[in-house]
Every structure is written in structure tokens, then in C-alpha cells.
């Protein structure tokens, strides 16, 4: 049996090797490494796939900053978000002088609990920042209703959910990241659509807003050497754009492979009482950037799997409101008990597009053995 990887980037590359190698060579031959036609081609293809406007950028963290800057959020403004996420969700807001206001998450979806948001809205609140964690959307319909009621922006952190669908009650279907005012995505190599380095994108359906985002990402430029606003330098390079353009052609195939692996885990692990499997909600598809279970024996299970040659990861071992860097926000242990409990019990199993049946069987048999003997 081949070595089991948490994310098999090389194995995936081999399935597209000729196309990717040709795309890379084309960029090298052109010597157009920055702001080339390859970048524009990729943006256009991704925009067609998502049915919205796309501005590529340097990474997912930059995407969030571009969103905040384009929406003209100011120091002192409050942004409601989750403490159970990667740090980039909040660090940009803090760097810009804004205040993240946390709301606890749902124990079964790991996403922002929309029912708790209204209680923390103040006259300083300017935006809600849901994170579509692990590949499943937060409850956007409730969030959009609240945003409309209080005239708030909705900025979607969709960095883990490219290709995820949101189902509205009226039957409308939209892509994660294209539903709020602005959506943010990362092309970090392990993501649903991953580059061979850093990369990101910002989505907006409003043409004026997307033009503003594009300007902010390019130093605030209006025309060459003419600057109409304060901006930054954040761009996707041509090499990454060429690679992503190839991989985008296979995004649905790759998502299906992740979903099939998840269904295998579901079926084989459903009878283990000490494991809580990832819940599927009716309002969102799940693209399984991660397959994350909950178990009180998390640390012991992870150690056992490691001894058997099976990798696993904890996303995330410490919630943001208890991190030293964010102690000035004034939160304490016990403020968000669900998120805190998740940080002690979640475990992500191997999940990628190249998982083989033999590997999946080996993983679940060892999980079963652990619980039978513990």
C-alpha cells in the first residue's frame, strides 16, 4: 500500500502533469510573470464557474484585507465572526484597527451560530464575517436577513469552500463566496483549488465594488502612475494562474472524489458511538476541504493512528479568543464553550482527491480497532 498522506499534492499533480508542465513552460517562454494574460484568463474562467466577478490576489489573507479596504471599514468598526477558525480571519481586521466580536459556533457544523449574532450587534457593528469551515457553508440566509435588518456588510471567508453550493429556501442555488457583499478565497496548495504556492481571490457581484477592489489591489491605481485611493500590492503571479487554470477544469471531479471519500468514512464509522461524524445541513453542499470528526479520545486516537502510519490533524487546537495575541479583546476561557470544546475534541482524517480504497479501508479498520480495544 502506498504511503497515506494528509493531502497528496504530488499524486494529484501526476494526474494533470502534461497539462501543468506545458502551462508552466508557456509562462516561462513568455517571460510575462506578472499581470499577464494568464492571470486574466484564469480570472475570467473562475468568474464563469462562480457566476460572479473575480479579482485575483496574493493570498487569502490579502483577500480579506482587500474586502475590508474596498468596503471602507474604519478603525473602531466591529466585525462579528467566529473564534474557531484560522487566524487570518481576524488578524487583518485587528491590523486595520477594527475589533473582531466573536460569536460561538454550532457544535455539529463548526460554523458561526447565526442565532447568536443579533445579541452582539451594536451601533459600531459594520460587518458579519462568516467562515465556511471545512467546506460547508454557514447559515447564510439567516445571516443575510440580519445584515439587511441592521444595514451590515456580509464578507464571506470562503477560503475552504470553493465549489460549495448554498441552497436558499426558495430554491435558488449560489456558490459559496458569491452570496454576501464580498467573498474571499485562498489558493493555498491544500485547498479545494490549490496553487503550487500562494494565491487568493476576491469576489463581488457589484461592478463598482469589484473595480474598487481591483484598484486597491494595484496600489490604489486609477491609471498608470495615477492613484485615486490608498491601496496595496497584492497579485497572483502568472505561473500560479496558469496552474490554477488547468486545475480549475477538474474542480468538479476533485470535489466528487472528496465527497466519495467522505461517504466511505461515514458508512464505515457511523456505528462507533464515541465518534461524532460531520453533519450535513440541508442548506449547503459539503466539499470536504477537511473531514473532521469529534471524539473525547482525540489525543489518544491521534497517537494510535500515527503509530500505524496514518496522519491526522487538529484544526484548530486553540481557539482565537484564548490566543495571547488577542487577549486585548477582553475574552476569557468559558466565553465560547462550544468552540473551546471543539478545540479539545476535533480530529481531521486524511482527505484529498487521490485517496485509494485500500488506504481508506486501512484508516477505518485502525479507527475501529482503537475503539474496540480502548
The tens digit of pLDDT for each residue in 170-206 reads 999 999 999 999 999 999 999 999 999 999 999 999 9
β-bridge partners, 155? 182
49: which 3 cell numbers? 464557474
pLDDT-derived band at 1, boundaries 50, 70, 90: confident
Runs of H (alpha helix) within the chain: 9-14, 17-30, 37-50, 60-70, 88-95, 140-150, 207-217, 238-248, 251-269, 298-307, 337-345, 357-372
The tens digit of pLDDT for each residue in 96-151 reads 999 999 999 999 999 999 999 999 999 999 999 999 999 999 999 999 999 999 99
* Other beta carbons within 10 Å of 337: 11
Between CA 176 and CA 245 the distance in angstroms is: 19
pLDDT-derived band at 38, boundaries 50, 70, 90: very high
Between CA 14 and CA 12 the distance in angstroms is: 5
pLDDT-derived band at 218, boundaries 50, 70, 90: very high
- 222 SS3 class: strand
Entry field: residues in the chain: 374
Q: According to the model, what pLDDT value does residue 36 have? A: 84
The tens digit of pLDDT for each residue in 222-258 reads 888 899 999 999 999 999 999 999 999 999 999 999 9
Q: According to the model, what pLDDT value does residue 237 have? A: 95
Side-chain-side CA neighbours of 173 within 13 Å: the count stands at 7
CA-closest candidate to residue 347, choices 302, 303, 310, 307: 302
Amino acid at each position: 500500500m502506498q504511503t497515506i498522506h494528509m493531502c497528496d499534492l504530488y499524486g494529484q499533480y501526476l494526474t494533470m502533469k502534461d497539462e501543468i508542465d506545458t502551462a508552466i513552460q508557456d509562462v516561462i517562454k513568455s517571460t510575462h510573470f506578472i499581470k499577464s494574460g494568464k492571470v486574466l484568463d484564469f480570472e475570467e474562467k473562475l468568474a464563469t464557474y462562480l457566476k460572479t466577478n473575480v479579482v485575483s490576489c496574493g493570498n487569502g489573507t490579502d483577500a480579506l484585507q482587500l474586502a475590508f479596504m474596498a468596503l471602507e471599514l474604519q478603525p473602531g468598526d466591529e466585525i462579528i465572526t467566529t473564534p474557531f477558525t484560522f487566524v487570518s480571519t481576524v488578524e487583518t481586521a485587528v491590523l486595520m484597527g477594527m475589533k473582531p466580536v466573536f460569536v460561538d459556533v454550532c457544535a455539529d457544523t463548526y460554523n458561526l451560530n447565526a442565532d447568536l449574532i443579533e445579541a452582539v450587534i451594536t451601533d459600531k457593528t459594520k460587518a458579519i464575517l462568516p467562515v465556511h469551515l471545512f467546506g460547508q457553508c454557514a447559515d447564510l440566509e439567516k445571516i443575510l436577513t440580519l445584515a439587511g435588518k441592521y444595514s451590515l456588510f456580509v464578507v464571506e471567508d470562503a477560503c475552504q469552500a470553493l465549489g460549495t453550493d448554498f441552497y436558499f429556501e426558495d430554491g435558488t442555488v449560489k456558490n459559496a463566496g458569491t452570496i454576501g457583499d464580498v467573498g474571499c478565497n485562498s489558493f493555498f496548495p491544500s485547498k479545494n483549488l490549490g496553487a503550487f504556492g500562494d494565491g487568493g481571490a476576491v469576489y463581488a457581484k457589484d461592478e463598482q465594488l469589484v473595480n474598487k477592489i481591483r484598484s486597491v489591489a494595484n496600489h490604489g491605481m486609477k491609471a498608470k502612475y495615477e492613484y485615486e485611493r490608498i491601496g496595496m500590492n497584492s497579485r497572483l503571479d502568472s505561473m500560479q494562474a496558469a496552474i490554477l487554470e488547468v486545475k480549475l477544469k477538474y474542480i468538479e471531479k476533485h470535489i466528487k472524489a472528496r465527497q466519495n471519500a467522505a461517504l466511505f468514512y461515514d458508512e464505515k464509522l457511523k456505528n462507533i458511538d464515541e465518534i461524532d461524524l460531520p453533519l450535513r445541513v440541508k442548506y449547503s453542499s459539503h466539499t470536504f476541504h477537511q473531514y473532521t470528526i469529534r471524539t473525547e479520545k482525540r489525543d489518544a486516537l491521534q497517537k494510535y493512528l500515527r503509530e500505524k502510519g496514518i496522519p491526522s490533524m487538529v484544526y484548530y487546537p486553540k481557539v482565537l479568543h484564548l490566543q495571547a495575541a488577542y487577549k486585548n479583546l477582553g475574552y476569557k476561557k468559558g466565553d465560547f464553550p462550544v468552540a473551546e470544546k471543539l478545540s479539545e475534541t476535533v480530529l481531521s482524517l486524511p482527505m484529498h482527491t487521490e485517496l485509494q480504497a485500500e488506504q481508506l479501508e486501512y484508516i477505518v479498520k485502525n479507527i475501529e480497532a482503537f475503539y474496540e480495544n480502548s
